[in-house]
Amino acid sequence: MTTDLQTAPVTLSPSAAARVAAIAAKQGKAAILRLSVEGGGCSGFQYKFGLAEAVDGADTVSETDGVQLVVDDVSLDLVAGCVVDYVESLGGAAFRVENPQAVAGCGCGSSFAI
């Protein structure tokens, strides 16, 4: 299937791309990270991450170091301009979304308000 890919207004950092590639290789899957937004969380919306099997025709796609970040068209308005990063600290390691549209967020960084 051939799809027309849009220029992505979301970005995957090199450290996030490396982590996705490592996880995908360990699980024997394609290096495609899907970012979506759902209602809920302590701030109104929450980010959801998962490995995708393939890119859907309506997805917006960004690629960093051979790893694709895909966002569905419904979630795109809420994450436009975002950078997805992977951060390791003494408190743990996690994917973090730096969302310039968010006016509030929770302490864990997994939910936000616009």
Number of residues assigned to the chain: 114
Instruction: Write the pLDDT tens digit of every residue in 62-105.
Output: 999 999 999 998 899 888 899 999 988 887 888 888 887 776 55
- What pLDDT sits at residue 90? 80
Q: pTM value?
A: 0.79
